[in-house]
Amino acid sequence: MQPILIVQGGAGDITDSRVPGKLTGIKNSIRIGIKILENGGSALDAVEQAVRSMELDENFNTGYGACLNTDGVAEVEASIMEGKNLKAGCVTLLHDIMHPISVARKVMEKTNHTFIGGEQAMNFARSQNFEVLPQGSLVTENAKLALEEFKESQAKGLDTIFSPTELDKKSVGELGETVGAVAIDVNGNIAVATSTGGITGKIPGRIGDTPILGCGTYADNEIGGVSTTGHGETIMRYNLAQRILQGIALKGVSSQKATEDTIKEMTQRLIGTAGAITIDKKGDVGIYFSSKRMAWAYTQGNQLIYGINPGEILKEDL
Ligand code: GLY
């Protein structure tokens, strides 16, 4: 089977000035991941490494550069899943850990559990020799600025995060630029990895869609894999990843149609915006977002195919 990797760098109201950084980062991520698959590596390794590169890059909302909660802390969360045995690992409420996706993988591989959160997840990370960085190491100037702007808008009575209404539509679209990767390897194994800092100005302890299976991440070799991004409160209420896969499994539609139709239906019903990347068991890809922008990329032969604006498909040599 021809291996495929697709990555996304977050759906949201990405300003023009942030576009070049997102595109450079997404191309870097896909190049790292596809090399693993082309050398016969596993889908699991490819998605983990693709996401790790975005966790290191401040252009993305996870790891270094993650959104801040109201206390100014970057609380990060992640999930990883492999579609052969439906094994998964999820973590939430980690702080000062650069690679939440790798902690999630350790939960999957080294424990009898699927989801660990909070200070016990920090202890688990320590037990697996993850470095706990000095307090505040993931916090960037841009993230601090975004929190200041959020607090100013709240002071003006514009709190829009938790209960979007028609009037709030634009603000909701600015939130939740989670990153993710979906791959199918030469053996037909599918894996998905998703990692995030959540949303700016979240209440400390708030958990989003990203570490929740069926919402932020899902992989099943018998159907496909999905990684989602966008407004977590909306995505988790809609079970977005699972609904996209059910579109493929039950309606028999293509990855693209299932991804597009499901996101459109979600935004129509719940207003919040999102994006998703999908690969079905045949290796067909689906990409869609209802937000203003979402950086995405995949490869075909020696071509890198990518975009960030609605309807945009750009190509260059890998
Ligand atoms: N999708 C990221 C979040 O809202 O937590």
pLDDT tens-digit series, residues 288-298: 999 999 999 99
Q: Which atom of ligand 1 is nearest to the CA of 196?
A: 2
CB 53 within 8 A of CB 188: no
In this structure, of 23-27, 161-165, 178-182, the range with the lowest mean pLDDT score is: 161-165
CB 178 within 8 A of CB 61: yes
pLDDT at 157: 72
CB 285 within 8 A of CB 278: yes
Q: How far is the CA of 232 from the centre of ligand 1 (A)?
A: 4
pLDDT at 301: 87
The first and second tokens of residue 159, run together, are: 């709190």
Q: How far is the CA of 172 from the centre of ligand 1 (A)?
A: 11
Residue type, 173: G
Residues 86-91, mean pLDDT to the nearest whole number: 98
Length of the chain: 318
Instruction: Quick: pLDDT tens for 10-22.
Output: 999 999 999 999 9
pLDDT at 34: 97
Q: Which of 196, 204, 75 is nearest to 139 (CA)?
A: 75
Q: Which of 57, 47, 187 is nearest to 105 (CA)?
A: 47
Q: Which atom of ligand 1 is nearest to the CA of 228?
A: 1
pTM above 0.85, yes or no: yes
Mutate which of 68, 196, 215 to test ligand 1's pocket (most atoms within 8 Å of Cβ)? 196
Mutate which of 8, 178, 238 to test ligand 1's pocket (most atoms within 8 Å of Cβ)? 178
Q: Which atom of ligand 1 is nearest to the CA of 175?
A: 4
Distances (CA, A) of 76 to 51, 67, 278: 13, 9, 23
Instruction: Quick: pLDDT tens for 257-266.
Output: 999 999 999 9
Confidence of residue 47 (pLDDT cuts 50, 70, 90): very high
Contacts of 101 (CB under 8 A, 6+ apart): 48, 51, 52, 55, 78, 80, 193, 194, 195
Which pairs with CB-CB distance under 8 Å and at least 24 residues apart come from 169-172? Answer: 169/271, 169/273, 170/13, 172/231, 172/234, 172/271, 172/272, 172/273
CB of 164 closer than 6 A to ligand 1? no
Q: Which atom of ligand 1 is nearest to the CA of 216?
A: 1
Pairing of strands 217-220, 87-95: unpaired
pLDDT at 183: 98
Instruction: Quick: pLDDT tens for 198-224.
Output: 999 999 999 999 999 999 999 999 999
List alpha helices for 141-231, DSSP H.
141-155, 169-173
Q: How far is the CA of 91 from the centre of ligand 1 (A)?
A: 14
pLDDT at 156: 79
The first and second tokens of residue 48, run together, are: 């983990």
Phi first, then psi: give them for residue 126, nearest 5 degrees. -60, -40
CB 81 within 8 A of CB 189: no
* Residues involved in catalysis: 178
Residue type, 89: G
Look at the chain and report how many structural domains it folds into.
1
Residue 171 pLDDT > 70, yes or no?
no
CA dihedral 306, 308, 312, 315 (to 10 degrees): -20
pLDDT at 236: 97
Residue type, 178: T
Q: How far is the CA of 243 from the centre of ligand 1 (A)?
A: 17
Q: How far is the CA of 176 from the centre of ligand 1 (A)?
A: 4
Mutate which of 91, 199, 290 to test ligand 1's pocket (most atoms within 8 Å of Cβ)? 199
CB of 199 closer than 6 A to ligand 1? yes
pLDDT at 160: 52
Q: Which of 89, 67, 101 is nearest to 204 (CA)?
A: 67
Q: Which of 266, 194, 279 is nearest to 228 (CA)?
A: 194
Pairing of strands 115-117, 87-95: parallel
CB of 209 closer than 6 A to ligand 1? yes
Pairing of strands 293-300, 4-12: antiparallel
Domain that holds residue 66: 4-317
Residue 2 pLDDT > 60, yes or no?
yes
CATH code of residue 128: 3.60.20.30
Confidence of residue 272 (pLDDT cuts 50, 70, 90): very high
List alpha helices for 166-210, DSSP H.
169-173
Q: How far is the CA of 72 from the centre of ligand 1 (A)?
A: 17
CA dist., res. 284 & res. 21, Å (int):
28
